[in-house]
Structure formats: structure tokens, C-alpha cells
Structure 1
């Protein structure tokens, strides 16, 4: 696939897409999640690229929606779908669904939608989906507690490229390794010549390490899982709740994630936790241990009367002795007990039994006051604990990374499956909420049975069902607020959804495979000469050629004077009747237009059956071949039958309304 052949994809975007493992497959599938993994491409941009690629694949020129109002209907339909998506991803993914004249594209989506409509939008699944998001890529991590070592320049270059997360050091001999071991908790030597060399510290000789970078830098794998831990857990919950068929071992994934902290460190290892606490608490524990010893020794001194003979005092002075000598002579037992208490406290506080011998050496046997820990021993203890902590953490990370290594691709597929499930469930919820059915294609025009528009500002359950069908051209008449515009909206919505490949809000529906939909909304006031001319040019283009168009027009007469409007609309209808178009024109001048037509144009009517408490009672389904009465006519008719009114006057007015009526062809 030539990526730059996709509309809107330039050379820079194409280069970014090529960084994906299989950009062609992602574009063919409209896989927004995968496309959005390309560097610098957001989900919104990914959706637009996917839609453009789909159009290109199906030879779709993107001109199906021919007017602003038809595009508004599509956006309204799309919004209804997106409102039923849980994840932002699904809302974006739904943007790849669009109305098309391409039969292959329509059938492709119909296959998807028919399966999606069978999905059960279980509340437990919807709740689990709230935590699912597209996976984030692993970050560039930097590990400072270990390094790679080599004496070969070529190996040095390969190592820096293969494992950028670690420092790579050049060494000449074992002495160089020993120096590195003093600065790093782990040194991985890459040269076979170092095999058998004994060096103090954690020095591993692994000539094949570059072939398996995970063994020396497990953080590379762990960071991905740590960053996406919550998303993976949510996806696993979705898979369980929805009984998704997945290649991912959910038990293994959840068990591995349980051993991983959000920062990429290992969780749940008691020994590692103890070492970490010991390193963190060492200074504080030593300080408290010193206080324990000094408090006990001070108490012993305060309770003890020490008497020194003059000769003894003189001897001590001559020897240059100080308090230490006095302690050794007079309070040796008390000092030993105080030091032992300090040692016991430090051992208990640190909780690292494998290092108890060195911990005890922190307090020496030589009497002194105040009692102080040996800084050199404490420093050595810190080094040992830190090295042991880092070695154990690295080993646990390697083991965890190995258990997760084979789960990365299945885990990514698991998240993608959960996100795609949300797309399917949005379609299912749409179909269920609006009692939809899959439409049929065939024959001329359209036919809707029991259609209810979800675009109205009333609860869907309160919407009256509408039956309506047109083949060829027709005028739609009716009272004000009787539902003429909402009927046009319903027709447009059904046709647009059908050409998106989606179910439609009706008990049954059939539509011709239209090449475009042109919906002319009601004009707000009379147009000036320039706008009037532009409107006529637009209809001139629609009335020519043999394209199968659906043309919906709402009260075109408002663009100019009523008398001229009727003549113009009659001419437009005559031309559309000669083409392959299907057209419905809503007009209050239906009678005048019919009289001006040189063809036998169908006039349908949304009939008001009367007035109740000042409110119209309307049959929302248009009556075929019937010119509906206007609201003023209904009011005059009501007054003419009022026994308390001037019946003769209103009868004369009522007769005037019959001027534009001709007997219905069939009732």
C-alpha cells in the first residue's frame, strides 16, 4: 500500500506510520488503536487517517452527503452512537463509520453491525470497560545500578546500541572489573576471556547477553506492563465478564501483574521489602540504638556510687586515663549490657538476619561514653545491604520479566479486543435503545414502516411511529407543527444509517442504493438575488444526469415570492422526475405547485384530525395522494360548526380553501 496515496497522509505522516509493525493491516482494518501508536499521531488523527484509508480502499469519493443539513443528520447519528460508547477510543473508532455509496463498504459494515447487535451490553462489562484505555508505549528507562563491561571496541558499540538503558564500560583486565564492581551492584562482562576470573562483588560473565537484552535489563519489559497495569487488569476483567475469546492467559497475566508495582519495581517479596526497609531506615535505627545504649548507661551511672582511692586516682591520671578507663574498671558489666541492648535493638529494627553478624559489629566492645556506632562498620553495612537489595531486585525483575515476556503481544491483543468490544456494544446499545432493525436495499426510493426518530426533543418512548415511502418525486403537505420536518429528518436519518451499514430506528425499512443525499433545510427568510441564483444553480446540478440521488427539501418557497416559488418548485420537480432521483419537497404551497406541474406529481399529506383544547391532533404518518388541510382551515372549519358563531360567514371562508384542492386519486 502506498501510504502517501491516502488522502491527507503526507510524507512525514507516512514515515510515522511505517514505524508500526504492519501499518497496512492496521489501515485496512480501520484499527485506530494501532494507528495511534505511531509516534506523534493522536487518536483523533488516527480516526481521520483510518477513515481516509477506508474510503481509498473502497473507491469512495466522500461526496455522499451533499449538503450541510445532510451532514448535520450524519453528525447527529454519529453522536447517538458515540454517547453509547464507554471509552474515548470507541468514540473515536466510531468516526470511521460513515455513509457511503460503495456497496462493498456498506456490506463490510453490515456484517460487523449484525454481529455487534447480538452483543449483550451487560452492566458488568460496561463497568469494567471504564478502566480500559489504549496501551501506552514503554518509556526510555535508565538503569544506574548495573553496567555492561567489555574490552572489545566492536562489542562496546554493539552493546550501546542493543542496551541503551545501561552504561557500557571499557575494561582491560580483572582489575578493571573489580573497580566497576565497587561502583555498581552488578557488572555483566561480555567477553569470554573473563570466564573464571574471580572478582569481589556481583560480576557475571555472559558473552551471549546482547542476544537476550531482557536478561540484563528486565526493566525494558517491566516498564511497559507497569505503565499499563491498570488498563491490562481492566481488560482482563472485561474479558472475564464478557467471556471474550482471547489467546491471553488471564490467570498468568493477573498473577504477574500482582507482582509488579506501578513504578516497575517488584511487589510481594518479603525479603526484598526487608532489605529496602533496612537501607532506608539504617541511619535512624543506628541513632535510636545509640540512644538505647546511652540511656541505659546514664541510668546505671546515676544509680551507682563510684569511689576512687587517692593512689588509684593518681595512677589513672599518670596513665592519661579518662572516662573510658573508669567505665572499664567500675562499670564494665553495665557498659556491656548497654551495648548489647543497642545491638539487639539494631538487629530487630533492621530485620535482616543474614547480615546480623555485621549489624552487631556496629557497636564495639571498647567502653566509651557516650556510646557511638562505628561509622566504618555502618558504611560497610549500608554497602552490603544496598548491594544485596539491588541484586535481589534485579533477579526478581528478571524472573518477572521472563514470565511476562511471552504475554506482551497477547496482552496487547486483549486490550484491543476489549476496546473493539466497546465499539460493538455501542452499536448494540444504539440498536436496542431505538428499537432498530437492519434495512434492506432494493427497488426505487425508500419505504419506512414504524419509523421513530431519536432526533426529536422528546423521550424516544413518546415518539409516534411513522409509515412513509416514496418512489420518484412527491410533495409533502401538512399543518404547521404537524411533523413534516421531523418526517424529512427521519427519512434522512434512515437512509444515512442504512448507507453507513447500520441498523435503523424502524420496524422495517427499505432503501434504494443512493449515490448521494441532498437535504435542503428550511431557509430563514427570503434570499437576496445572489443567494437565490446560487440556490437555483444547485438544483440545476441535481436535476441533470442519471445519478441516483435522494433529494429532501423543506419549504423551498420561503426563498422568494409565493407565486414565483410555486412555478420554480414545479419546474424542479419535473426535472427531478426525469432523472433517477427520489425527491420529497415539503411545502405549504403543495396545491399551487401541483397545479403548476406539467406532470402528475404525488401530493402526500400529514393530516390533522382535529383540534382538542386548542392543540392539534395529528396522524403523523403521511397519507398518500392526499393534500392535507392547513391549520387555518381547521380553525375556520371548527368555527363554521360552532352553534354560537356566525356559521354563514365561516362557511364562505371555508369554501375559499377548496380552491386549490382536487379530488384525491385514492384515499
Structure 2
């Protein structure tokens, strides 16, 4: 794949993706977790890259959200999804959903939604799924750690360079001949020779001939595999819980995975092997055990001397002095048995304390010689040799166990990665399903014109516009259950009139949100929705105050682009008349609506100048109204669903009408006739 062909991917990001194993699969599946493992790529940036790859795959230019307010509505929609995710990954992953004109992308997401909602009933009713998800994170590579008990050896310069790149954990040494291998074998527990020429050499020590070492890194450095699983233990265990609680097929034996994880410590050390534990303890306790053994011998010998009367006559004493005798001789003559018992006790303590095997017990025999001496002292050379033997046995057994466990875990690595990816996707599925449930959503129906490729139906004639039944916006600052449902259908350029605070802007927000969600492929908060697959969404929020000449000119330039845009756009505008004087505003809005009508666009313009705009336009502009039913205790009672082909009364008219009811002077009646 040509990574730089992905929208938003430059040379640096492309180079990072090229270093990532499985980059093409991750881009194809929108796998943000894997993409975030590329050097220098955060999860947020990975989501942007994944979205760019999706756009490229579906031939989407990414221009659907044509204005800042349209992008704000999209971010609001994402926030509703993010709030329902458990993992940080899920919060980033939902950003790969975006509104588009592409029918194939919309269908792809709708298939995801179908799966999510089908599976959600059992999952979301069980809090175990969400509890387990709290511990799931994308897998992380462990830091590289030096392994000092083995090295690689080669006489070939190219192989030397390749080995250094492939095995940063190991030292790579240059050797010319068998003598060089022998020297390395005295310094390392294991030497791995990379050259075939060394096959059959007879060298003391653990020397292995592996010309294929570069093709089997897990066998050469099993610590790499163990460190990966040790680093990600809690994430894997949490993902296993998610798989079980959510009822998804894990792709591997979860018991085997848990058992394998139980055999590796947090630092990558193999645990649970009795013999390795014995050797580790023996090496660690050797010096203390030797010191204690000496104390045992000396304490026994000292007690024996205290309890015994030793008598030496003059002739014997003179003879011993003339012979240069020392206390050793006296011990040998007078306390030989006691000395032997003391030394046996020292040897026994050393064997027992270190749990030495019969073949190792000989070192304890030699560590405390039979020649009498006081105080009793060990032979350091013997203890040093015992230490070497124990360490060698420890290292070799640890290496063998690492290789065996790494072989088991290597086969589980790909399934384990899939396990975590699937668990993270459960979070995304649950977020979508909870969104749909929380806001009583339904999947909309797209109505395509006959000439549209891949059309679903040709209902409602030309296929333009949007119909919303029972729509409720979750963006309002009230509890969702208290939101009044709205029915609204619009096709072609339309003016929306109504009283202040009657819900005109909220109706625009609802229409924008429904369209954004629908063209993301997601369910919408309504009982039923039919809509065209719009090419672009232009949403212009209300301008605060009259604009100066420069800002007014800039705004008109924006609408010049709107008027010349692609067909089948949705244009939502909130009180454009506020940009300048009412008389001029009506003419400007009328001209814009005329251009939009020629472009077959659907548009809703909220305006208090609906009558003036209709009179200025050269075509019959549809006028809908949000009707106030009256005033109760000074509060408006409003029908939130716009009435078709109806110019709604203004708030001042309602107030004057109320005053006229209770006044017999005729003054308010006169005012009322002016409306």
C-alpha cells in the first residue's frame, strides 16, 4: 500500500507506518490500537490516519461537513458516543466514524451497528462486561533489555551487521576460529554461532550452531516473548474476562493462556519450576549458608573443648614444642572425634540449607577439610567452584524453561493480540448500542432518486429532502426523557418561522444531528427518518448583531460558494437577516433561496422575515411555522413540530391578542389588525 496516498498522511507518518507489522490490515479494519504502535503515532493521530484510509477506500473527499457549525454538530455527536465508551481506545476509535456521501461507507457502518445492537442485549445487561473492559488497553511492546548470559558469534561482517539489527538484546562478537569460540564460551553461559563453518567443532561449554538464528528470534531470545506477555499480563487477563462475559469466540484456549501467564513473572522470569526455584535460592543463600555452617562447626567444637579436660605431661609438652606443634596437633590428638563431628555438622547444614543434590553434596565435603583447625574455616576455592556450578545449572535451566515457555507463548501471541482487539471493539459496539438505546434511536431510510447508483427506493419522487417523525435532540440542556418530540419534513428551499424561544434553532440542530448521524451510518434519535443522501451539510449559526461592512462582505462571499455548490446539499441557516438591515436582508435571503432552488438543494432558513422574503423571491418559497398555541401564566405554549405551509405568528402578536381579549377600548384590536 502506498501510505502517502492516504489523505492526511505525509512522509514522516508514512515512514512510521512502514515500520509497523500489520499496518495494511490495521488500516483496512480501522484498528487504531495497532496503528498507535507505529513510532511517534498517538492514538488520536492513529484515529485520524485510520479515518483517512477509510475515506480513500470509499472514494470520499471528506468535504461533507462544509461549515464550522456543521463540524461542531459532528463533534457533539462524537461526544455522545465517547461518553458511552469505557476504554480510552474506544473514545479514540469512535472518531473513525464520520459523515459521508459514500453509500458503501454508510452501509459498512450500518452493518457494524446491526452487529452491535444484535449482541448488545446480553452484553450490556451483564455489568461484568463493562467491569472487565475497564482493565483492557491496547497491547504495548516491552522495553528492550540486555541479555548478558549469551552472545552471538560470527566471522562474517554482513551477518554481524544483520545480527546487531535483529538482536539488540544480545552482544554480537566477531570470531575467526574455534579458539575464539572457546574463549567466548568461558565468558558466556551460551554462545550461538551463526556460521555453518563451525558445525561439528568440539568446544567446552554451551556452544550452539544456528545459521538460521535470524529466522527464529523467539528461540534465540525467548526473553523477548516473555517480556511481551509479562508487560501485558493484566490487559490480556482483562480481555479474556471480556471475551467470556460477552460471549465472543476468543480464538485461543483461554485456560492455556492463563496458565502460561501464571508461569512468567512481571519481570519476564519463569516461575513455578521447583528445580529452578531451588537453584535460585541456593545461589542467593550460598554465602549466608557457608557462614552459618562455619558457626555450627565452631560452636560445637568450642563446646567440646569447654567440656573436656585436656592433660599434657611435661615430656609430651616439650616434645610438641620442639616439633613446632600447633593447636591443630592438639586437636588431632585429643579431640579428633569431636572435630570430625563438628565438620560433619557444618557439611550437613550446608547440604540441608541449600538443598544440594547428591552430585552437588561433594562440594560440601570438600568445603570443610578433615585436617583439624580452629576456628573451622571453609575452603574458598571449593565454595567458588560450587557457586559457579550452581549458577551454571541455574542459567541453563532458566534458559531451557524460557525457551519452552516462549515456544508455548509464541503460538498464542497472534491470538492474544486478536483477543485484545476484539475486546476493545466490544467497547465500541457497546457504546453504539448504548447510544441507540439511551436515545431511543432507529436506523434511517435513505431515499435515492432513480438515477442514483445503488438506490434503495424512489419514494417521495425526486428523492430530495428529509422527513423526521418523533425526533428528539439529545443536545438540549434538559433530560432526554423531557424533550418534546418533533415531526418535520422538508424538501427544497424552505423558510421556518415561529415565535421566539419556540424551538426554531433546536429544530435546525435536530435536523443537522439526524443528518450527521445518518450519514455516519449510525442510528438517529427519532421514531422514523427518511432522507436523501446529501452531498454536503452547510449549517450557519445565528450571527450576534449586525455585521460591519467587511464582515458582511465576507459572509456574502461564503454564500456565493453555497449557491454554486454540488447538487443535493442540505443548507441550514439561522436568522441570516441579523447580518444587516431587515429590508436588505429579505432581498439577500430571497436571492440565495432562488440560487439554491436552481441547484436542487434542500434548505431551511429560520427567519422572522418570512413574509418579506417570500414577497422578494421570484418563486413560491415554502414557509413552515412553529406555532405558539398561546400564553399561560406569561409562558408560551408551543407546538414544537413545524406546521407545513404556515406562517407562524410572532410573540408580539400573541401578546397583543391576549391584551385585546380583556380590553374594550378597541386599542389593542387596532394593533392586532396590523399583523
Q: 1:618 to 1:361 in 2, by over 3 A?
A: farther
Tell me by how many angstroms 1:204 deviates: 4.5
Q: Which residue of 2 aligns with 1:624?
A: 644
Q: Which residue of 1 aligns with 2:623?
A: 603
Tell me by how many angstroms 1:171 deviates: 5.5
Contact 1:633/1:654, CA 8 A, preserved across alignment: no
| Secondary structure of the corresponding residue to residue 519 of structure 1 | strand
CA deviations over 1:327-380 (Å, ceiling 9, x no partner): 334444443333333333322322233523323433333333333222111111
Tell me by how many angstroms 1:428 deviates: 1.5
Tell me by how many angstroms 1:138 deviates: 5.3
Between 65-74 and 344-353, report the one with greater CA deviation: 344-353
Measure the CA separation in 2 of the matches of 1:186 and 1:655. 107
| Secondary structure of the corresponding residue to residue 467 of structure 2 | strand
Measure the CA separation in 1 of the matches of 2:27 and 2:213. 37
Contact 1:149/1:177, CA 8 A, preserved across alignment: yes
CA deviations over 1:510-536 (Å, ceiling 9, x no partner): 111111111111111111111112212
| Secondary structure of the corresponding residue to residue 372 of structure 1 | coil
Matched, 1:455 2:450: no
Which runs of structure 2 are paired with 1:50-69 in the superposition (5 Å)?
50-69=50-69
Q: Which residue of 1 aligns with 2:331?
A: 327
Q: 1:77 to 1:112 in 2, by over 3 A?
A: same
Which runs of structure 2 are paired with 1:41-80 in the superposition (5 Å)?
41-80=41-80
Measure the CA separation in 1 of the matches of 2:546 and 2:531. 34
Contact 1:261/1:267, CA 8 A, preserved across alignment: yes
Tell me by how many angstroms 1:441 deviates: 1.1
Q: 1:416 aligns with which of 418, 421, 426?
A: 421
| Secondary structure of the corresponding residue to residue 117 of structure 1 | helix
Which runs of structure 2 are paired with 1:370-449 in the superposition (5 Å)?
370-442=375-447, 443-449=463-469
Tell me by how many angstroms 1:200 deviates: 4.5
Between 69-78 and 183-192, report the one with greater CA deviation: 183-192
Tell me by how many angstroms 1:60 deviates: 2.0
Measure the CA separation in 2 of the matches of 1:380 and 1:654. 117
Measure the CA separation in 1 of the matches of 2:492 and 2:210. 81
Measure the CA separation in 1 of the matches of 2:194 and 2:38. 34
| Secondary structure of the corresponding residue to residue 407 of structure 1 | helix
Matched, 1:481 2:493: no
Matched, 1:576 2:599: no
RMSD between superposed Cα atoms in Å: 2.9
Q: 1:209 to 1:595 in 2, by over 3 A?
A: closer
Between 99-108 and 429-438, report the one with greater CA deviation: 99-108
Q: Which residue of 2 aligns with 1:6?
A: 6
Tell me by how many angstroms 1:212 deviates: 4.0
Which runs of structure 2 are paired with 1:171-210 in the superposition (5 Å)?
177-189=181-193, 199-204=203-208
| Secondary structure of the corresponding residue to residue 238 of structure 2 | helix
Contact 2:535/2:566, CA 8 A, preserved across alignment: no
Q: Which residue of 2 aligns with 1:648?
A: 664
Measure the CA separation in 1 of the matches of 2:209 and 2:540. 78
Tell me by how many angstroms 1:398 deviates: 1.1
Q: 1:241 to 1:546 in 2, by over 3 A?
A: closer
Measure the CA separation in 2 of the matches of 1:451 and 1:622. 12
Contact 1:559/1:565, CA 8 A, preserved across alignment: yes
Between 86-95 and 64-73, report the one with greater CA deviation: 86-95
| Secondary structure of the corresponding residue to residue 509 of structure 1 | strand
Contact 2:538/2:569, CA 8 A, preserved across alignment: yes
Contact 1:546/1:580, CA 8 A, preserved across alignment: no
| Secondary structure of the corresponding residue to residue 268 of structure 1 | coil
Between 188-197 and 554-563, report the one with greater CA deviation: 188-197
Q: Which residue of 1 aligns with 2:136?
A: 132
Q: Which residue of 1 aligns with 2:459?
A: none
| Secondary structure of the corresponding residue to residue 431 of structure 2 | helix
CA deviations over 1:375-425 (Å, ceiling 9, x no partner): 111111110110000000011111112222222222222222222232222
Measure the CA separation in 1 of the matches of 2:480 and 2:242. 30
Q: Which residue of 2 aligns with 1:268?
A: 272
Tell me by how many angstroms 1:285 deviates: 2.2
Q: Which residue of 2 aligns with 1:83?
A: 83
Matched, 1:495 2:499: no
Q: Which residue of 2 aligns with 1:465?
A: 485
Measure the CA separation in 2 of the matches of 1:657 and 1:293. 120
| Secondary structure of the corresponding residue to residue 148 of structure 2 | coil
| Secondary structure of the corresponding residue to residue 540 of structure 1 | helix
Which runs of structure 2 are paired with 1:93-172 in the superposition (5 Å)?
93-120=93-120, 121-122=123-124, 123-137=127-141, 139-149=143-153, 163=167, 165-169=169-173
Between 270-279 and 220-229, report the one with greater CA deviation: 220-229
Q: 1:113 to 1:311 in 2, by over 3 A?
A: same
Q: Which residue of 1 aligns with 2:451?
A: none
| Secondary structure of the corresponding residue to residue 604 of structure 2 | strand
Tell me by how many angstroms 1:43 deviates: 2.2
Measure the CA separation in 1 of the matches of 2:633 and 2:336. 111
Runs of 5+ in structure 1 lacking a partner? 661-667
| Equivalences, count | 655
Tell me by how many angstroms 1:208 deviates: 5.8
The TM-score with structure 1 as length reference comes to: 0.90
Matched, 1:227 2:242: no
The TM-score with structure 2 as length reference comes to: 0.89
Contact 1:444/1:512, CA 8 A, preserved across alignment: yes
| Secondary structure of the corresponding residue to residue 187 of structure 1 | strand
Q: 1:318 to 1:464 in 2, by over 3 A?
A: farther
Between 543-552 and 73-82, report the one with greater CA deviation: 543-552
Contact 1:290/1:371, CA 8 A, preserved across alignment: yes
| Secondary structure of the corresponding residue to residue 361 of structure 1 | helix
Q: 1:576 to 1:648 in 2, by over 3 A?
A: farther
Between 275-284 and 168-177, report the one with greater CA deviation: 168-177
